[in-house]
């Protein structure tokens, strides 16, 4: 197990004081903080290697290309993909899901088909499918969830039929932290002839995930929630599926040849190899380099250890939250089936007011509906406050959080 106090030394931002209090960062589900190793990798890239990739023959371009390709390889190993060809760099989870919707869905989905999503999805796993359904005429089918925000596997089986062509489910809910058994869901989806897309935005940073083991067809995640920079994310796809898909964006880099025929006055275009077929234009090279540094950092800690640390914190926080008499925690009360995300409200307070009051104690949390409005509707909530933990958080920080909550409860 790693020492979170030692880990903290790698994060310059954690030395800050906010409103005269040491910074307590509990908004990790929104984005994580960045260690020195990631910041240094980005700085070193710009100071020593910056050039465009896959284009020029000069030394700097070769160095940048090597780093960028190495980053794909590191991510492939991290998630247990068969090769880097299955790892497409995109802007984040949102773009990854849109890529699948447009590149796969536009060609493969038609009237009469269904796309199965759950009520706990982030809007980025709902809205692209709703937009596409208006163009193609298929139906987006919503699987209800249990009252504690977990999935009922029997209901899931019943929702499947030959009409369902793809199942799109989050691995970990960004509201409740519930961990879905996506390996089982993928098996059931496949038995029913559907593909399986896993939204890994909240799982890849926090728990060990191997795509070969899950046997999902697509996995989407964001670099910025796993110590990497913003603007870089990943779409994993099984090679045989990616190969059959049309490109998402057109432009430079994603083509092998654009040949103009003067007689027909048309261009014949052939696509580049994977994964470049899906990476049109100059990519986010330094983002890739930063993501590689983040992956190496997490590998050094060990993802089993990351999960264990967060489980310990969650269990401790859930236990101590029981002392806060006017505070209600949503989702499952059993901390063993969830990651380090805790949604709550304080009686008589709006969630944004709770977040603002906690800010005065130097504690950063998120408030609102966390881009997951259907789940809030299910919970009959207009919004919730949300604390979410990561590798650098400590029990002492949770103690300060609980003391602050108690003071806020008393202030009404």
Q: In what order do the strands lie in the sheet with 384-388?
A: 327-329, 341-346, 384-388, 366-368
For residues 220 and 124, what is the distance between their CA atoms, to the nearest angstrom?
11
Phi-psi region at 11: left, alpha or beta (left = phi > 0; alpha = psi -120 to 50): beta
Select 64 or 294, whichever has its Cβ closest to ligand C6P: 294
Total binding residues toward ligand C6P, as defined by CB under 6 A: 16
Closest CA to 38 of 220, 282, 283, 296: 296
User: Which residues neighbour 9 within 8 Å (Cβ) at sequence distance 6 or greater?
Assistant: none
Interaction between residue 371 and ligand C6P (CB under 6 A): yes
Q: What share of the chain is helix, strand, coil (3-state, %, to 5)?
A: 45, 20, 35
For residues 282 and 317, what is the distance between their CA atoms, to the nearest angstrom?
44
**Sign of the CA dihedral with 246 first, then 250, 253, and 255 last:** positive
Task: Kindly give the interhelix angle for 303-321 and 395-410, rounded to the nearest 10 degrees.
Answer: 30
Query: In the numeric block, which tokens belong to residue 16?
Result: 């800050």
Interaction between residue 238 and ligand C6P (CB under 6 A): no
Interaction between residue 384 and ligand C6P (CB under 6 A): no
Q: Are 93 and 221 in contact (CB under 8 A)?
A: yes
Has 371 been annotated as catalytic?
yes
Q: Are 383 and 376 in contact (CB under 8 A)?
A: yes
CA trace torsion 136, 137, 142, 143 (10° rounding):
-90
Minimum CB–partner distance for residue 107 and ligand C6P (Å): 23
Query: In the numeric block, which tokens belong to residue 140?
Result: 């987006």
Minimum CB–partner distance for residue 180 and ligand C6P (Å): 11
Q: Are 165 and 109 in contact (CB under 8 A)?
A: yes
Binding mask 202-231 for ligand C6P (x = CB under 6 A): x-------------------x---------
Select 205 or 247, whichever has its Cβ closest to ligand C6P: 205
For residues 360 and 141, what is the distance between their CA atoms, to the nearest angstrom?
43
Q: Which of 24, 32, 35, 92 binds ligand C6P (CB under 6 A)?
A: 92
Angle at 125 between CA 124 and CA 129, to 5 degrees: 105
Minimum CB–partner distance for residue 374 and ligand C6P (Å): 13
Binding mask 172-191 for ligand C6P (x = CB under 6 A): --x-----------------
Select 64 or 226, whichever has its Cβ closest to ligand C6P: 226
Minimum CB–partner distance for residue 97 and ligand C6P (Å): 7
Binding to ligand C6P in span 258-317, by CB under 6 A: none
| Residue 22 bridge partners (DSSP) | 17
Binding mask 49-88 for ligand C6P (x = CB under 6 A): ----------------------------------------
Minimum CB–partner distance for residue 166 and ligand C6P (Å): 16
Q: Which of 72, 206, 309, 366 binds ligand C6P (CB under 6 A)?
A: 366
Interaction between residue 93 and ligand C6P (CB under 6 A): yes
Q: Which of 170, 314, 327, 345 binds ligand C6P (CB under 6 A)?
A: 170
Interaction between residue 367 and ligand C6P (CB under 6 A): no
Interaction between residue 127 and ligand C6P (CB under 6 A): no
Could you say which of 168, 324, 339, 371 is catalytic? 371
Q: Where are the alpha helices (DSSP H) in 152-235?
A: 153-159, 182-191, 211-214
Interaction between residue 120 and ligand C6P (CB under 6 A): no
Q: Which of 29, 87, 115, 117 binds ligand C6P (CB under 6 A)?
A: 29
Interaction between residue 28 and ligand C6P (CB under 6 A): no
Minimum CB–partner distance for residue 201 and ligand C6P (Å): 3
Span near ligand C6P by CB under 6 A; candidates 105-113, 194-202, 316-324, 374-382: 194-202
User: Where on the chain is the footprint of ligand C6P (CB under 6 A)?
Assistant: 29-30, 92-94, 122, 124, 170, 174, 199, 201-202, 222, 366, 370-371
**Enzyme catalytic residues:** 371
């Amino acid at each position: 197990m790693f020492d979170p106090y030692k880990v903290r030394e790698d994060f310059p931002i954690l030395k800050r004081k906010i409103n005269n209090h040491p910074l307590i960062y509990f908004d990790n589900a929104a984005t994580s903080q960045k260690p020195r190793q990631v910041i240094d990798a980005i700085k070193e890239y710009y100071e020593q290697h910056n050039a465009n990739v896959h284009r020029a023959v000069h030394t700097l371009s070769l160095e940048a290309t090597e780093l960028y390709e190495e980053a794909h390889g590191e991510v492939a190993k991290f998630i247990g993909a068969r090769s880097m060809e299955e790892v497409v760099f995109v802007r984040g989870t949102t773009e990854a899901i849109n890529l699948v919707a447009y590149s796969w869905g536009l060609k493969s989905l038609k009237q009469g088909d269904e796309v199965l999503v759950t009520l706990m999805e982030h809007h980025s796993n709902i809205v692209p499918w709703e937009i596409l359904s208006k163009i193609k005429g298929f139906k987006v089918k919503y699987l209800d969830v249990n009252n504690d925000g977990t999935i009922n596997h029997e209901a899931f089986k019943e929702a499947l039929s030959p009409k369902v062509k793809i199942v799109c489910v989050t691995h970990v809910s960004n509201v409740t932290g519930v961990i879905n058994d996506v390996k089982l869901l993928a098996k059931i989806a496949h038995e029913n002839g559907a593909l399986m897309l896993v939204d890994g935005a909240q799982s890849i940073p926090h728990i060990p995930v191997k795509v070969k083991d899950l046997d999902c067809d697509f996995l989407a995640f964001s670099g910025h929630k796993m110590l990497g920079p913003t603007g870089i994310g990943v779409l994993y796809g099984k090679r045989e599926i990616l190969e059959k898909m049309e490109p998402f964006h057109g432009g430079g880099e994603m083509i092998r040849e654009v040949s103009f025929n003067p007689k027909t006055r048309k261009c014949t275009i052939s696509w580049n190899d994977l994964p470049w077929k899906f990476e049109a234009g100059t990519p986010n090279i330094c983002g890739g380099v930063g993501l590689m540094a983040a992956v190496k950092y997490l590998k050094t800690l060990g993802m089993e250890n990351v999960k264990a640390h967060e489980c310990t914190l969650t269990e401790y926080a859930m236990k101590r939250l029981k002392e806060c008499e006017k505070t209600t925690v949503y989702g499952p009360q059993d901390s063993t089936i969830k990651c380090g995300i805790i949604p709550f409200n304080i009686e008589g307070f709006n969630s944004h007011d709770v977040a603002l009051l906690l800010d005065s104690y130097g504690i950063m949390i998120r408030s609102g509906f966390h881009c997951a409005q259907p789940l809030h509707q299910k919970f009959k909530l207009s919004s919730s406050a949300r604390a979410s933990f990561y590798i650098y958080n400590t029990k002492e920080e949770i103690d300060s959080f609980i003391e602050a909550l108690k003071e806020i409860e008393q202030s009404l």
